[in-house]
Amino acid sequence: MIKHELPSYLQQQSQGPWEVYLEQIDRVTPHLGSLARWIETLKRPKRILIVDVPIERDDGSIAHFEGYRVQHNTSRGPGKGGVRFHQDVSLSEVMALSAWMTVKNAAVNVPYGGAKGGIRVDPRQLSKAELQRMTRRYTSEINIIIGPTKDIPAPDVNTNEEIMAWMMDTYSMNQGSTASGVVTGKPISLGGSLGRQEATGRGVFVIGSECAVRKGLDPNRLRIAIQGFGNVGGVAARLFAESGARVVAIQDHATTIVDEGGLDVAAALEHARRTGSLAGFPGCAHLAKQDEFWDIDCDLLIPAALEQQINAANAGRIKAAIVLEGANGPTTPGADDILADRGILVVPDVIANAGGVTVSYFEWVQDFSSFFWTEEEINARLTRIMRDALASVWQIAEDRGVSLRTAAFIVGCTRVLQAREMRGLYP
């Protein structure tokens, strides 16, 4: 592994997601030909903004939170990426997530660069009024670098369409006019797109089904284990179950539920909506230890929680034919190697979970034109784009004898660096 000299603002941090991303770039560099002369472009974020987010709490006290917005690359278009509210948000994480967005957007060929944002906060500790004040203050602080043609935030971990509405309203008030295109993932009534809320999970379903067929598996008879039961894992679980597949295990932050005969996904979704987790869900086994999730026998394993969940310590335990990355960066490079040696296909995040940003692109286009499409049109266009992107990546993987991740990075990085080379340097 090549050792990298970290920027000064990261030198005190231990190896994290950004270092994982850098290793992935090192692995693709030999496949980029003459474009490799521009490789440092991908190793240095274009712009990093760290902001203080002070709010007045309901009890009159003042609280401060640290917020970030990172624009990794804008060679192919405005920055695009979500905003997450989580107590473990770090600069390394947000940098890596913004970089993966650069590669993802290019791999599926939507005209965006990569960006990401976040606030280090446990939103469960805030009232709704406090959450709104924090969101609006954060939006005001990053107002100087976002905009419909500059950088377009979207929902991510612990953020949703209501938070996007607050962000859009705050930005619009500062601009003096309604700017619906400044964020995506908005409510339908404010210019949101039909199909957006389910888009990431639907894309995971489309890619997973397609990969199963390519591996000689019947997508309607798959046994599936899912880590994460939010907007991505929950939607994917429902769609796979509706197609006839058996969801045999689901893990959320509270528990892991297992039923070899197939879980009642609809009932599990309702239970989680009503209670906040899968804890206490009846009619199935609950594993004593969360770590036992990695020992579950299945055909398709979908990590749809946070990054770096599959690592060198647990990759050898996985009993799946396919690992389908619903989350961003859930597999470390060391785990990638172990899974490859064991003949397990890893479908990388930059293809598998690109449905969300693809429909975000559709939403952005609809906002600009003030002409909105039907949900059937959106789902059909999403399916076509996802399948076409997978076909291109799959062909490169076969032609060059590389993993799907390396192939996806070849496609994405080539497009980004070609744009960089054609634009040249200014001044």
Per-domain boundaries in the chain = 45-177, 199-347
Residue 51 pLDDT > 70, yes or no?
Answer: yes
Phi and psi (nearest 5°) for 171?
Answer: -60, -45
Tell me how far CA of residue 348 lies from CA of 181, 242, 255, 302, 328, in angstroms. 29, 24, 26, 11, 9
Residue 11: its pLDDT value, please? 44
Q: How far apart are CA 257 and CA 259, in angstroms?
A: 7
Residue 283: its pLDDT value, please? 92
- When pLDDT is cut at 50, 70 and 90, the band that residue 10 belongs to is very low
For range 357-382, the mean pLDDT: 96
One-letter identity of residue 180: S
SS3 category, 96: helix
Q: Which residues have a Cβ under 8 Å from the Cβ of 426 and sit 6 or more positions away?
A: none
Residue 306: its pLDDT value, please? 83
CB atoms within 10 A of CB 62: 8
Q: Using a pLDDT cut of 70, give the percent of the chain over it.
A: 96
Q: Which CATH superfamily is domain 45-177 in?
A: Leucine Dehydrogenase, chain A, domain 1 (3.40.50.10860)
Q: How far apart are CA 194 and CA 185, in angstroms?
A: 10
Q: Which two tokens stand for residue 272?
A: 């989680």
DSSP secondary structure code for residue 36 in this structure? G
Residue 71: its pLDDT value, please? 98
CB atoms within 10 A of CB 26: 15
- When pLDDT is cut at 50, 70 and 90, the band that residue 8 belongs to is very low
Residue 9 pLDDT > 80, yes or no?
Answer: no
Name the strands in the sheet holding 285-286, side by side, starting at the edge strand that comes first in the sequence: 285-286, 256-258, 246-251, 223-227, 300-303, 322-324, 345-347
The answer to whether residues 232 and 304 touch, using CB atoms and an 8 Å cutoff, is yes
Q: How far apart are CA 106 and CA 87, in angstroms?
A: 30
Q: Using a pLDDT cut of 90, give the percent of the chain over it.
A: 92
- When pLDDT is cut at 50, 70 and 90, the band that residue 361 belongs to is very high
Q: Which two tokens stand for residue 46?
A: 């274009």
Q: How far apart are CA 104 and CA 409, in angstroms?
A: 8
Q: How far apart are CA 166 and CA 144, in angstroms?
A: 17
pLDDT by residue (tens digit) across 288-341?
Answer: 898 999 999 999 999 999 888 999 999 999 999 999 999 988 999 999 999 999
Name the strands in the sheet holding 79-86, side by side, starting at the edge strand that comes first in the sequence: 47-56, 62-73, 113-120, 79-86, 151-155
Give me the catalytic one of 116, 128, 150, 319.
116
- When pLDDT is cut at 50, 70 and 90, the band that residue 66 belongs to is very high
45-177 shares its CATH topology with 199-347? yes
Which pairing describes strands 246-251 and 345-347: parallel, antiparallel, or unpaired? unpaired
Nearest residue to 181 (alpha-carbon basis) of 378, 357, 368:
368
Which pairing describes strands 79-86 and 151-155: parallel, antiparallel, or unpaired? parallel
The answer to whether residues 227 and 233 touch, using CB atoms and an 8 Å cutoff, is yes
Mean pLDDT rounded to a whole number for the chain? 94
Residue 422 pLDDT > 90, yes or no?
Answer: yes
CB atoms within 10 A of CB 324: 29
For range 158-178, the mean pLDDT: 96
Q: Is 104 a catalytic residue?
A: no
pLDDT by residue (tens digit) across 94-132?
Answer: 999 999 999 999 999 999 999 999 999 999 999 999 999
Residue 54 pLDDT > 80, yes or no?
Answer: yes
CB atoms within 10 A of CB 283: 10
CATH number of 199-347: 3.40.50.720
Secondary structure element (H or E) that encloses residue 250, with its range: strand 246-251
The answer to whether residues 303 and 332 touch, using CB atoms and an 8 Å cutoff, is no
Interior angle at CA 220, CA 216 and CA 224, nearest 5? 85
- When pLDDT is cut at 50, 70 and 90, the band that residue 15 belongs to is low
For range 218-226, the mean pLDDT: 93
